[in-house]
A and B are shown apart, each in its own frame.
Chain A
C-alpha cells in the first residue's frame, strides 16, 4: 500500500537537502535515512536523549518532532558540529573515557556543546543539569561529567591566552 509522502526541504548539517519522506516519519527517522547516523534512536518517548539534535540552533529530542514540522528549518547533528568548542568536547570525551558502548555519546556531546556555548565556566551542577535529559545505559555519568568539565577548563585556558595582550 502506498503511504502519503511529503516533500521535505531542510538544511541538514550545513547542506540543503530535499527529500521525499513518509508523512508519518519522526525527525530522527528522516535524518537518519538522509545519512545523519550519529543521532540515535533509543526510547522514542523523549526520555533518553540519544536522538538529540539542534533544530534552528536549539537542542531538541528529535523523536518528539514530526519530520514534516522540520520543513524549511535547519538541523545540525554531531556530524555537523565543527566549532572549536565541539572539537574540544569530542577530544575530552576520548581523553576522559566519557563513553563505554557509545550509544548515548552523540547526544551527550551535543548538550555539552550547547552548555559550553552558553556558559564558559559551568559548575558540576550546571553540567549535571545539562545532561539530565540524556540517559547513559552504561551508567558512566561520572566520566561524562569529568569530560565536559575538562573541555570547559581547556576552553577557558585557551580563551585566557587569546585575551592576553601579547597576542596583538
Chain B
C-alpha cells in the first residue's frame, strides 16, 4: 500500500493532461515500473499521478523522420519490424532489457528517458541516435536534443509541468552500422557501462562513428570519432570525458572509467562489422 494520498488521473486528451501537470507535485505515469515502487517505498510522493495510457502516445510512426511516442514499450520496439529495420540500435537495446517479459511489456522508453538514471539503457541510445525530444506543457511545446536533455544523475532540463510526448529520430544514412554493448556482472543485473555506436561510411579517411557511453558518468558521454582506427581515439579521449564518474554498490570509484574504453571499443567493432 502506498503510504501517502494522491489523486489518480487518466485523461483522454493531452490538453487535460497538461492542465493537470501544471498543478504542483504532479507526476507523469508511464509504465509505472519506477514510479509505482518509488511511491510504495516513499521515495516519490506526488500529490497527483497523470497516467498517459489514454493519450495515444504509444504509436511508432515512420514517414521520413521516425517518431516514437513516449508511451511505447520495449516490447513494441521489438515487435515493430519497420522500426527494427530503420533503427536496429533501439531493438538491440530493448532486446537486452532485464526484468522478464513483464517489464519488457510494461516499461516505456519515455519513462526511462525522463528518469535519467545513469545506469539505464535508453538515455545513451537517444544520445547516440541524436534524438530530438518533444516536450509539451500548458504554455507550449519545445524540442530538445537528447545530448542537451541530461544535466545530471536523475536530472534533465524537463520542467515538472512538462511531459515528454515523443522521441524523434532522423533515419541513419543507408549503410550505417550500429552496435550496442553492455557490461554487467550477471544476466539480470544493472548494467555497469553501456555503449551505443552508429558507424557511417565516409568516402575518405574511413568511417565516422557516433558513440555514446552510458552508466559510466552521471550523464551519457558522447564521442564523435573518424577514421579506421578509432580504438586509440576512444582510449585517449573517453576517460577524461567521464568528468562525473558514476559509482554505486556494483562498481566503486575508478572502475567505470577504467572499463569504459573496452566496452566502447566492443560497440564500435560491432557497428563496423554490422555495416
Chain A interface residues toward B at CB < 8 A: 3-4, 6, 22-26, 29, 44-47, 49, 52, 58-61, 63-66, 68-69, 111, 114-115, 129-134
Contacts and interface: CB of A to CB of B under 8 A. Distances in A.
Interface of B: 1-8, 10, 29, 31-33, 36-37, 40-41, 49, 51, 53, 98-103, 105-106, 187-188
Contacts of A23: 5-8
Given A61-B106, A69-B8, A69-B53, A26 B40 contact: yes
B121 to A, nearest CB: 15
Question: Which of A3, A6, A47, A114 has the most chain B CB atoms closer than 10 A to its own CB?
Answer: A47
Contacts of B32: 64-66, 69
21 contacts: A4-B5, A4-B7, A22-B1, A23-B8, A24-B3, A25-B1, A26-B36, A26-B40, A29-B1, A44-B37, A45-B41, A46-B36, A46-B37, A61-B33, A64-B106, A66-B8, A66-B32, A69-B53, A111-B100, A130-B101, A134-B100
B189 to A, nearest CB: 11
Contacts of A47: 99
Nearest to B2: A24
A47 B41 CA distance: 14
A133 B100 contact: yes
Contacts of A3: 5
Contacts of A60: 102, 105-106
B32 to A, nearest CB: 5
Contact of A24 (B6, B31, B187): B6
Contacts of A115: 101
A117 to B, nearest CB: 12
Nearest to B73: A58
A133 B5 contact: no
Given A29-B1, A111-B101, 12 more contacts: A23-B8, A24-B6, A45-B40, A60-B106, A63-B36, A63-B37, A65-B106, A66-B51, A69-B10, A111-B100, A111-B102, A133-B103
B206 to A, nearest CB: 36
A52 to B, nearest CB: 6
Nearest to B3: A24
- Lowest 6 CB-CB distances: which A-B pairs, in order? A133-B100, A68-B8, A24-B2, A61-B102, A45-B37, A132-B100
